[in-house]
Amino acid sequence: MVQYNFKKITVVPNGKDFVDIILSRTQRQTPTVVHKGYAISRLRQFYMRKVKYTQQNFHEKLSTIIEEFPRLDDIHPFYGDLLHVLYNKDHYKLALGQINTARNLISKIAKDYVRLLKYGDSLYRCKSLKVAALGRMCTVIKRIGPSLAYLEQIRQHMARLPSIDPNTRTILICGYPNVGKSSFMNKITRADVDVQPYAFTTKSLFVGHTDYKYLRYQVIDTPGILDRPFEDRNIIEMCSITALAHLRAAVLFFLDISGSCGYSIAQQAALFHSIKSLFMNKPLIIVCNKTDLQPLDGISKEDRKLVEEMKSEAMKTVIGQGGEAANEEGVLLTMSALTEDGVIAVKNAACERLLNQRVELKMKSKKINDCLNRFHVALPKPRDQKERPPCIPEAVLEAKAKQAAEEVKRKTEKDLEEENGGAGVYSASLKKHYLLANDEWKEDILPEILDGHNVYDFIDPDILLRLEELECEEGLRQAEEEGDEFEMDGEELSPEEQEALAEIRKKKNLLIQQHRMKKSTAESRPIVPRKFDTDRKFTTERMGRQLSSLGLDPSLAIDRARSKSRGRKRERSVDRGEADGCDAMDIDGTQASKKLCLRSTSRSRSRSRPPSEFVPGEGLKDSTQKVKAIKLAKKSVKKRNKNARRGEADRVIPTLKPKHLFSGKRSIGKTQRR
C-alpha cells in the first residue's frame, strides 16, 4: 500500500539563500591558500576543484528538489487531480521543468570552464576563470528564484494536506453546505471539525477514523457543493468533486429535510441528479438529517416524491449489475446529529455496505483463485441418526447458576445511589466494611479532635485500671497535705513584719496587674527600641534609694550594674605576682587599690587554645575525634587547593590558550591546528 507523506519534502530555499549555502560550503570544504609560486598544474588543479565542487553541490540540491516533489503522472489520480485543483498542474510542471533546466545549465557551465582551466597559463587567469564560472552558476540560480519561491509555497501547503490513503476503506460525506456533514463526522470519529451556523465553514478536506467490526475506516468530510455548472465551481467545491471522482468509497449524500440550511429539497435533489454520475460503482446512502426539526413523514408530497426518486437512483449499485435494484435496507436513512438519533445506524449501514462491496470485488478478481486452494473448511458428516447434544458437566452448570444468582443479588453503590435519591443526595458510607466485634458500632460517631488534642493518642485498653490507681494516689496525697497545710496569716507576726508583709503583697499584686496589662496589649504594642530609657528613669541612684528604703545595702548591686552596662575596654593587665599580693596588702589601703585588685583577680589574661583542644558543645566526643575531623577537612580541600580554587563555588576557567604560546608567526610544519 502506497503512503503519501508530503510532510517530508525538504525546504526549498530562495535564490539568495541558495547561492549563500552553496558558496559557503565551497569555501569551507575546499582548500583556500594558493601562491603564485606554485607550479601551473597545481594552480589549475586548485581552481578546477572549486568549480567542480560548486557544480556538484548545485546538482545535489536541485536533484533533491526534483525527486522529492511528487510527479503528477506517477501518483494516485486522486492526488494528481487534487494538486491540479489547488496549484494548477501546468504551473507546477513548469516550475519543476525550470529547476531541471537550471541543473543542466550549471552542469554545462562547469564542463566548459573546467575545459578552459586546463589551458590557464597564470594564477590570475585561472582565478578569473573560476570567478566567471561561479558567477554564471549563481546567475542561473537567481533567474529561477520565482520558481523556487513558488515551489516553497506549494511545499508548505502540501505539508498541511490531510494524510488520505486512497486504497483503504473510506466513507465519503457530501451534500449542500450547512446540512450537518461536519457534525456527523464529529460524532462518529475523534476529529474536531469546526461547526458554525453558516455555509462553507469547511473549506478543505478533513479526515477522521472510526472502527467497525475491528476494522479501521477512513471518514472524509468534504466541503459543500452548489448546484451550478462545472466551469463555475470554485476550488473549495472542486476538492469535493475530486474526492467523489477518484476515491473508491461509500458515499453518504446528506439531505436537510427541514430546510434550515437555506436550500430546499428540490435544490438538493437537483444537485444529486447533476453529480450522480460520480456515484457510479459506489455504495450510496441517502441520509435525511435534522429530523428533530422536521420528521420525514411530515414533508409535502412533492418533496416526498423527490426523495423517492433519489432513493431509486441510490439502489443502483455495483452489486446489482445493469441497474437492478439491490436490497432496500440501508439506502434511505434518517438521523439527527443534534440528538444523536440514528447516527450509529447510519455509520453501521455505510460500513457494512462498503465491506460487502469490497468482499464481492475481491471474490470476482483473478487473485482469489490463487488463494482458494489454500483454504479448507472441515464440516463433519453425521454417521447415524442418533442425536448427540452437547454435554456440559453438572458442576459447570451449578457454578454458572451460582454465579448468575450472585450477580442478581449483589447491589453496587450505583444501585444504592439510584434507590436513595441519586447523585447529590445519596452519600456512600465508608464505615460499612469495618471489621468490628459488633456491627452496631460501625456507625458510631468517634471524635478525632477533643479539646485541641488527638483522641487516638489517649486511647488505652487499661484506662479504667489506671484511673483507679490515680484516684487512690490522689486520695493518699490529699490526706498527707491535710496535716501539713500551712497558710501564713498575720496573727503570729510583729507589727513591723506585718507592715513588710502587707508591702510585699501590695507590690506583688501591682506586678501581676502590670504583667496582665502588658500581656493583653502585647500584639499591638510596638517593639521596644534598644535605647528605651530616654527619660533616664531607670538609674542606679533610683535603684539605690529603693533598696535602701527596704533596708538593704545597695553598693554591691550598683557596682555590678555599672560593670555590666560599661563596655569592656582593653586595660593594662596586672602581673600575676601583684594580683596574688593583693591579699597580703594592708586593710587600710585606698579604695582605688581595692578596685584594681578585684579587676585583676576577676579578669585574667585570655590564653589561646590549640586547634585540637576539646571544647564542649562542638558536637564532637573528645579531642581524638576532633583531630580526626580536622584531618578529614584538610584532605577534602586538598584537591580544590591544588586546582587553585578559591572555594567550593569557584567556577573560574583559566585561559586554555595563553596568548604568549599561541600568537605570532608559525614555523614551517603542520597546519592541522589552523
Task: Say how far apart CA 286 and CA 300 lie, in whole Å.
Answer: 18
Beta bridge partners of 172: 220, 251
Q: Which three cell numbers stand for residue 480?
A: 498527707
Residue 353's closest CA among 280, 254, 284, 288? 284
State the DSSP code for 160. T
Q: Sign of the CA dihedral 102, 104, 108, 114? A: positive
Q: Which three cell numbers stand for residue 160?
A: 498541511
Residue carrying C-alpha cell 506549494? 154
pLDDT on residue 234: 74
Task: Say how far apart CA 52 and CA 133 lie, in whole Å.
Answer: 10
Q: What residue type is 435 in one-letter code?
A: L
Task: Say how far apart CA 558 and CA 398 lie, in whole Å.
Answer: 104
pLDDT on residue 43: 92
pLDDT on residue 147: 93
Q: What are phi and psi of 447, to 5 degrees?
A: -70, 140
Q: What are phi and psi of 182, to 5 degrees?
A: -70, -35
pLDDT on residue 80: 80
Beta bridge partners of 211: 216
Check if the beta carbon of residue 241 is closer than 8 Å to that of residue 228.
no
pLDDT on residue 375: 77
Residue 146: count of CB within 10 angstroms of its CB: 12
* Tens digit of each residue's pLDDT (9 = 90 or more) over 195-212: 877 777 777 788 889 999
Task: Say how far apart CA 654 and CA 38 lie, in whole Å.
Answer: 42
pLDDT on residue 507: 92
**Which regions in the chain score pLDDT beneath 50?**
1, 318-326, 574-590, 592, 595-598, 600-605, 674
pLDDT on residue 582: 44
* Domains of the chain and any CATH numbers: 15-159 (1.20.120.1190), 170-365 (3.40.50.300)
pLDDT on residue 604: 45
